[in-house]
A = this chain, B = another copy of it.
Amino acid sequence: MVFIPSPTVERHVTEAGLKRPDLSRHLSREARARLPNPIKSIWKVAQVKPGTINMGNGDPHHTLYPISEMNFVVPSIDDADPVQAWRTGTGGQQVISSFKDEPCALSLRTAFAYGAGAGLQHVRDALADLNNRIHSPPNHSVSLSLGNADALTKCFRLLGDPGDSFLCEEFTFSAMTNAALPLGIDWVPIRMDEGGLMPADMERILSSWDEATQGKRPHVLYTIPCSQNPTGSTLSLERREQIYQIAREWDIVILEDDPYFFLQYDLDVNSATVAQHGFTRAMADALPRSFLSMDYDGRVMRLDSFSKILAPGMRLGWVTSNHFFAEKLDMLTDSSSQHPHGLGQAFVAELLGKDGWGADGFMKWVSSLCSEYERRRNLFMDVFRREVAKTGFASAEVPQSGMFVWIKINLEHHVRYRRIENSSGGPCTNTAELMDELFRKLLDCGLVMMPASTFAIADRTGRSTEGHIADRVNYFRATFVGTDETICNGLSIFGRTIEDWYCF
């Protein structure tokens, strides 16, 4: 792995940074018990001798693969703004090709054969190169994934034992936190504000943890640092540094689930840097600092995905972690989904290769995509101000990244809003009930927004002195990534409906 430090990024190196934590203590019993594939072990012995004849494996010969060539028609990256040109059909096209019997970046002979759980070396190298140019992570390893759901649920199995408690944001991507529950992992929510998870609350939870009554202290934090799902918040550098420091103090593994990382808005991309060093350097200078980039301990497992920047159906992403975790993760992959599909690996290899966009062209696409999503976000916020915020019944922060706006409903103005007498730690207001009513009313009027209750993690340890989360579910998650028409019509319904609901 080539280590190319990003010149504008100052590294946070402390003395403690040189002391590596004991990573093995974080592994689940399942991960510790996993044996290597005995057939692959035989091959490790066998491959020492070149020219050895393989009659061991049942691998179909490449002459029998019924695909000799694979072509993808993609936008030309030569346009100044390739996403606009592509959307409007005014730009050029390029064909990305892979071959079985002709030269290309990654032969279909390799892509269509059995491979390793971590993915093909060629693709891993291309992504490690991209990583290095953006995050410059020291001593990390790249393994391919089938997207962040695959990666994250594998990390849960890698790190979680029944009875473990993991930390997460109090509103989070519940499809994933729910996936951990049947493994016996319990979630401990950290309070959030507009800036995302609050480091002080994370510190409070860990320092006040009583293993005698609460079980093992949490050793994993699951966080979505950019365009946090559902709140749309992006952690500031200051918070990231505080969180990493707390993680270090309490020996916490950070699962940095960052599918929206590449979709940042109001970025100050320096055109002189673009001209001189290309898009990757210019974008790397402007993108937020990841937890990975600070990770001298090896306590970060970073999850990147092509879902939001190419397409969800690609089902490809990559996990960057220390070599020890990477090896255990790869063993789990060998023992489950086996290895990423060759079709996507071949496509990515050519796209990032010299006959495709290359890494720099890819980052140009990403940069152009940011402009388009920024335009949509601005449209959303303009219409929102005009149609919704003016009513005074709802408000929203402008998201810096990603796809979501977290719309606050100012319920305390509603005529039926009330406090409930509650001494048993339950909700103190009828917020949940009113929000459910509003959700159904919107649905009747033909609009779906995601109610905050869908994402709320109740504090089951009963430790919180900050009130019940059901009193804080007065939000909707709305997306601005639909068409302009969806944004205009949807927010128009929203404004009318909320006004109606408050006033009549």
Chain B residues near A67: list those with CB within 8 A. 72-74, 310-311
Which residues of the other chain, B, contact A339 by a CB distance below 8 angstroms? 315
In the complex, which residue of chain B has the Cβ closest to the Cβ of A153? Answer: B336
A163 to chain B, nearest CB (A): 13
A197 interface hit (Cβ, 8 Å): no
The docked-state distance in angstroms from the alpha carbon of A466 to that of B455 is: 57
By the criterion CB–CB under 8 Å, are A146 and B448 in contact? Answer: no
Q: Are B311 and A42 in contact (CB under 8 A)?
A: no
Number of copies: 2
A183 to B486, CA, bound (A): 46
Asked if residues B312 and A340 are in contact (CB atoms below 8 Å), the reply is no
**Interface locus among A8-16, A33-41, A264-272:** A33-41
Please judge, given known A-B contacts A343-B313, A454-B42, whether A69 and B73 are in contact too, CB under 8 Å. yes
Query: A: which residues have CB within 8 A of B?
Result: 29-35, 37-40, 42-43, 45-46, 49, 51-61, 63-75, 83, 86-87, 93, 108, 111-115, 146-147, 149-150, 153-154, 174-175, 178-179, 181-183, 229, 307-308, 310-316, 334-345, 347, 365, 369, 372, 402-404, 443, 446-451, 454, 477-479, 481-483, 486-487, 489-490, 493-494
Contacts A66-B86, A146-B337, A341-B344; A42 near B450 (Cβ below 8 A): yes
Chain B residues, CB < 8 A from A147: 338
- Evaluate contact between A53 and B365: CB separation under 8 angstroms: no
The CA of A82 and the CA of B66, in the complex, are separated in Å by 10
Residue of B nearest to A444 (CB): B49
- Which B residue sits closest to A110, measured CB to CB? B313
Q: How far in angstroms is the closest Cβ of chain B from A334?
A: 8
A195 to chain B, nearest CB (A): 20
Instruction: State in angstroms the CA–CA spacing of A477 and B490 once bound together.
Output: 63
In the assembled complex, 16 residue pairs joining A and B whose CB atoms fall closer than 8 Å, in A order, are: A32-B182, A35-B181, A39-B175, A42-B448, A42-B450, A55-B486, A56-B450, A57-B479, A58-B402, A58-B481, A63-B86, A64-B83, A64-B86, A114-B312, A146-B341, A343-B344
Q: A35-B178, A58-B481, A174-B38 are in contact. Are A53 and B486 (CB under 8 A)?
A: yes
Q: What's the Cα separation between A32 and B334 when bound, in Å?
A: 25
**Shortest CB–CB separation between residue A182 and chain B, in angstroms?**
4
Cβ contact of A335, chosen from B69, B74, B153, cutoff 8 A = B153
Tell me the smallest distance from the CB of A428 to a CB of chain B, in Å.
24
